[in-house]
Amino acid sequence: MNVQAWTSVLVGLSFTLYIGVAVWSRARSTNEFYVAGTGVSPLANGMATAADWMSAASFLGMAGSISFLGYDGSVYLMGWTGGYVLLALLLAPYLRKFGAYTVPDFVGDRYYSQTARMVAVVCAIFVSFTYVAGQMRGVGIVFGRFLEVPVEIGVFIGMGIVLFYAVLGGMKGITYTQVAQYCVLIFAYLVPAIFLSLLITGNAIPQLGFGGVDQASGTFLLDRLNGLHDELGFAPYTSGAKATIDVFAITAALMVGTAGLPHVMVRFYTVPRVRDARLSVGWALVFIALLYTAAPAVAVFARTNLVNTVSEQPYAAMPEWFSKWEDVGLISFDDKNGDGLVQFVGPDARGATGAPIENELTIDQDIIVLANPEISGLPNWVIGLVAAGGLAAALSTAAGLLLVVSSAVSHDLLKRGFKPDITERGELIAARLSAAGAVVVAGYLGINPPGFVTEVVAFAFGLAAASFFPAIILGIFSKRMNREGAVLGMICGISLTAAYIVYFKFVNPTANSSEHWWFGISPEGIGTVGMLTNFVVALTVSRFTPPPPAEIADLVDMIRVP
């Protein structure tokens, strides 16, 4: 069977599985719709959290970025896992004890304020839509490249599937579909990683393999890659090019942002008890770490293979995958010196005479994971499997985000905001309608992606870091924190972060370089400064304004014990 046939079969099978699971686990009450009846086991919730969290960016994008960034790619590895330690130690147990349905619920009740609730609702919806647009684009890329259907049709199919199980099943349906999706995506990620590790280093465990010996050259693989980088004028792979303070700030923003993302936090509302919440964060990180420790290995294998396959080879002899990616515009080649060979070189490349060599090949780093099995000549079924895994990652995350949007509308805006007398049945209908509405908006964003999808991801993390994280931490660990402090803290944190990102990404993109940044911190890392601002403003303002009422102190005492 060819790649397209394998892909159709595997994607079809996995979609049938998701629909079957969704029919079996549909929601009958708002409690089941919002938090799966708080009956999810810690292990299942860990798996669901892992699928919820690992998006198209983790599955398709991350290893590619790392293979282009080398050591600097560590910001994603540490940033997107370290946040789980913060979740387990500082957030999840207390949010579970509080026992609400949504994150704005906690903010609104703890700060006895509709303003705080509305600020949180706006942040939750904005962060979720930002994120979901990227997922739908991932769905479109996979369909377009492997099933050769137009991107629009691909997005429509993806929307249909998510619509079906998110609207029918709510959190309960999403949770059990995510468990199935995790199994599909981790299998799809590890199979090619193990194949590659065996081929290149002879070690079946990729996490060890990339520190092992390259069988072709007999030297350590990382040494060989550093050698290739040196020859071709790239910076050494194992040491970075970014400034230390920027690496520090980006890692912190991603960690804190992860812990502050509403679709992740809400997953810990679904387990039965406080101790299950703690345990379930542990399981979540185990399942995430399986992929995240394999990703840097995949990055090294991909980088080595790519350089070996294309560097100084005749353009006319490029393999089939090369021209297919050229067709979708994600690889481009421009024979600047007219020698018919592909020069894939870094900024410091010099020829034998010392004259600079120009780079002729541009590769979109998002395609590395998808192209990797083909570059290494793995069997066709592995390529189909990777496509199915990419779809699982994109759909599971999209569903979790859509649920946040739908519950923010039906629960926070209607039930707790403008229409408190809404019946249980009415609220459930509103939740389903808003889930459907959110899917349609997400689909529109997927078909007509705003040109700045990758840029706005910095927004999602920056805003989560600068808004929710400090407000919730202070709400748990400081009894003195009051409404005024929390609201002003959130507003200052968000405004600063948003202004910085908008300025460098949209208003004045030409100035987006380290000499213009504050303290050398890039827009990706500014969430850290926003978070600190939020903490400082909140703590200062709360000292000069009246303390919270006595029942809030009781509430804080209540959530501090299981």
Partner 1 sequence: MIPDPTADTARARATYWRRNLTYVASLLAVWFVVSYGAGILFVEQLNTIRIPGTGFPLGFWFAQQGSIYVFVVLIFVYVVLMNRLDRKHGLDKDGDR
Using alpha carbons only, give the angle 288, 260, 292 rounded to the nearest 5 degrees: 15
Closest to partner 1 by CB, 207 vs 311, is 207
| Choices 169-177, 218-226, 326-334, 481-489 (CB under 8 A): range interacting with partner 1 | 218-226
CB of 237 to partner 1, least distance (A): 9
Selected from 4, 38, 380, 478, the binder of partner 1 by CB under 8 A is 38
Site for partner 1 in 49-78 (CB under 8 A): 66, 71, 73-74, 77-78
Long-range contact list for 424-431, CB < 8 A, 24+ apart? 424/29, 424/30, 427/30, 428/27, 428/29, 428/30, 428/33, 431/30, 431/33, 431/34, 431/170, 431/406, 431/407
Q: Which residue has the tokens 């120009």?
A: 358
Closest to partner 1 by CB, 298 vs 453, is 298
Told to check if 293 binds partner 1 by CB under 8 A, we report yes
Closest to partner 1 by CB, 7 vs 251, is 251
Told to check if 221 binds partner 1 by CB under 8 A, we report yes
CB of 59 to partner 1, least distance (A): 17
Question: Using the 8-state DSSP alphabet, how is residue 519 labeled?
Answer: G
CB of 317 to partner 1, least distance (A): 31
Amino acid found at 44: A
Told to check if 557 binds partner 1 by CB under 8 A, we report yes
Selected from 25, 31, 58, 81, the binder of partner 1 by CB under 8 A is 81
Is residue 96 a contact partner of residue 269, using CB atoms and an 8 Å limit? yes
User: What's the half-sphere exposure (Cβ side, CA atoms, 13 Å) at 404?
Assistant: 30
Rounded CA-CA distance 329/352 in Å is 33
Greatest CA separation for the chain: 80
CB of 41 to partner 1, least distance (A): 13
Selected from 43, 194, 286, 422, the binder of partner 1 by CB under 8 A is 286
Amino acid found at 125: I
Selected from 64, 82, 260, 475, the binder of partner 1 by CB under 8 A is 82
Rounded CA-CA distance 545/536 in Å is 15
Told to check if 97 binds partner 1 by CB under 8 A, we report yes
Selected from 220, 315, 444, 503, the binder of partner 1 by CB under 8 A is 220
Selected from 100, 188, 274, 392, the binder of partner 1 by CB under 8 A is 274
Selected from 265, 285, 395, 402, the binder of partner 1 by CB under 8 A is 285
- Render the burial of 183-213: b for 16+ CB within 10 Å, e for the rest: bbbbebbbbbbbbbbebbbebebbbebbebb
Rounded CA-CA distance 57/60 in Å is 6
CB of 244 to partner 1, least distance (A): 6
Told to check if 426 binds partner 1 by CB under 8 A, we report no
Closest to partner 1 by CB, 157 vs 213, is 213
Beta bridge partners of 361: 333
Selected from 122, 190, 289, 436, the binder of partner 1 by CB under 8 A is 289
CB of 110 to partner 1, least distance (A): 17
Selected from 1, 13, 23, 208, the binder of partner 1 by CB under 8 A is 208
Amino acid found at 172: K
Closest to partner 1 by CB, 165 vs 461, is 461
Rounded CA-CA distance 498/506 in Å is 11
Long-range contact list for 446-451, CB < 8 A, 24+ apart? 446/133, 446/135, 446/136, 446/137, 446/139, 446/140, 446/155, 446/158, 446/159, 447/136, 447/140, 447/151, 447/152, 447/155, 449/133, 449/136, 449/137, 450/133
CA 381 to chain centre: 26
Selected from 281, 330, 537, 541, the binder of partner 1 by CB under 8 A is 281
Told to check if 23 binds partner 1 by CB under 8 A, we report no
Closest to partner 1 by CB, 82 vs 446, is 82
Told to check if 228 binds partner 1 by CB under 8 A, we report no
Selected from 251, 305, 365, 434, the binder of partner 1 by CB under 8 A is 251
| Choices 185-193, 217-225, 348-356, 507-515 (CB under 8 A): range interacting with partner 1 | 217-225
Selected from 50, 88, 402, 428, the binder of partner 1 by CB under 8 A is 88
CB of 143 to partner 1, least distance (A): 32
Rounded CA-CA distance 170/427 in Å is 12
User: Could you tell me how many residues of this chain bind partner 1 (CB under 8 A)?
Assistant: 52
Ramachandran category for residue 36: left, alpha or beta (phi over 0 → left; psi -120 to 50 → alpha): left
Rounded CA-CA distance 552/26 in Å is 36
Closest to partner 1 by CB, 207 vs 313, is 207
Selected from 275, 425, 480, 543, the binder of partner 1 by CB under 8 A is 275
Closest to partner 1 by CB, 67 vs 434, is 67
CB of 487 to partner 1, least distance (A): 26
Token readout for 512 is 């987006």
CB of 223 to partner 1, least distance (A): 6
Quick check: helix, strand or coil at residue 462?
helix
State how far the alpha carbon of 82 is from the alpha carbons of 133, 135, 227, 492, 525, in Å. Answer: 25, 23, 31, 25, 15
CB of 286 to partner 1, least distance (A): 6
Told to check if 272 binds partner 1 by CB under 8 A, we report yes
Is residue 9 a contact partner of residue 384, using CB atoms and an 8 Å limit? yes
Told to check if 41 binds partner 1 by CB under 8 A, we report no
Told to check if 243 binds partner 1 by CB under 8 A, we report no
Q: What is the 3-state secondary structure (H, E, C) of 261-319?
A: CHHHHHHHHCCCCHHHHHHHHHHHHHHHHHHHHHHHHHHHHHHHHHHHHHCCCEHHHCC
Question: Using the 8-state DSSP alphabet, how is residue 562 labeled?
Answer: -
Q: Point out which residues bind partner 1 (CB under 8 A).
A: 38, 66, 71, 73-74, 77-78, 81-82, 84-85, 88-90, 93, 97, 207-208, 210-213, 220-223, 238-240, 244, 247-248, 251-252, 272-275, 278-279, 281-282, 285-286, 289, 292-293, 296, 557, 560-562
